[in-house]
Amino acid sequence: MGGCPLGYGAAAAAEAPEEAEPPAKRARAAGGGAAGTAAAGAAAGAEAAARGDCYYGDYLRVERLLSCQAPRSSGAGTSGVPAHDELLFIITHQAYELWFKQILHELTWVHQSLGAEVVSEAEHLRVVQRLRRVVKILKLLVAQFEVLETMTPLDFMEFRGDLEGASGFQSVQFRKLEALLGVPHTAERSAAFDRRLTEADLAQVGAARETPSLVERVGAWLERTPGLDGGFDFFSKFEAATTAALKQQRDGVLAGVNTRPAKATSSLLAECAESEAAFRSIFDEGAHALL
């Protein structure tokens, strides 16, 4: 009973028309347990859609997203059924492409930001934040291989023949990412990769290569930085600083050689060598070509 706790106004309340219950509430009252909960959820979703509210599945295009996996394996092998692991293969690579899209989104913003005549301190912080985000995504992409590695070579061979020459080298987004980061484009790379692309895809990659790379943007931004000499050579400074840091890392390992097991020292020195080789490939075109 609504109104005054002592009952005054009860008559007026009794005469007032009863407010219609929303469909979700009626659904909960109509059925208990899981069935009632499911019905209430469906009714609530219908209410939200009717109001024009943003709905999870519509916003993320879930139905369309889940229809984008189209395995090609025919089941003509010994099992007589489509290859089970082809779906894993497709989803993994589609996930890579989605993350490539996000990386390009972040790096394009950084590229445009550093291309401005004046880059504010606040903008510097956003650049660093978004580059850190890219690093996190790249680490995630590396970790993603662990899932794909649960597929054995024999599992892969069940459907490899159905792919008809398709290859990860044909990833346009990855080629655009290389161009944006400033990976050198040589005749050898062109012969190895570009011939695998369609004319339309090659045009996209070509346009990306004509755009100044992120490395060039950083160099130009540093040249405009107040306090630096006009002849500032970013790459020479970067190489010298990197070489000194790597040497300090190796010297630190060698200085503690008597404080740890030989196996641990060997492992640490191997990590040093790996880091040195990785950075050498940035400055040595021959070393980069061997990657």
pLDDT in tens, 166-221: 888 888 899 999 889 888 777 777 777 787 888 888 888 888 888 888 888 888 88
pTM (two decimals): 0.63
35 pLDDT tier (thresholds 50, 70, 90): low
12 pLDDT tier (thresholds 50, 70, 90): very low
Residue 13 is predicted with a pLDDT of 44
**Per-residue pLDDT tens over the stretch 72-94:** 886 555 556 789 999 999 999 99
Alpha-carbon span 205 to 194, nearest angstrom: 9
**Per-residue pLDDT tens over the stretch 91-110:** 999 999 999 999 999 999 99
Across residues 135-158, what is the average pLDDT? Answer: 93
Residues 273, 249 contacting (CB under 8 angstroms):
no
Residue 40 is predicted with a pLDDT of 64
Q: Which two tokens stand for residue 119?
A: 């880059």
Residue 285 predicted with pLDDT over 80: no
Report the amino acid identity of residue 172.
V
Across residues 21-43, what is the average pLDDT? Answer: 58
Alpha-carbon span 208 to 202, nearest angstrom: 10
Alpha helices (H) along the chain: 10-15, 23-30, 33-51, 56-59, 62-66, 86-114, 121-148, 153-160, 172-181, 187-193, 199-210, 214-224, 234-255, 262-283, 285-289
Residue 33 is predicted with a pLDDT of 61
**Per-residue pLDDT tens over the stretch 127-144:** 999 999 999 999 999 999
Mean pLDDT of the residues in the chain:
81
Residue 6 is predicted with a pLDDT of 44
Residue 9 is predicted with a pLDDT of 46
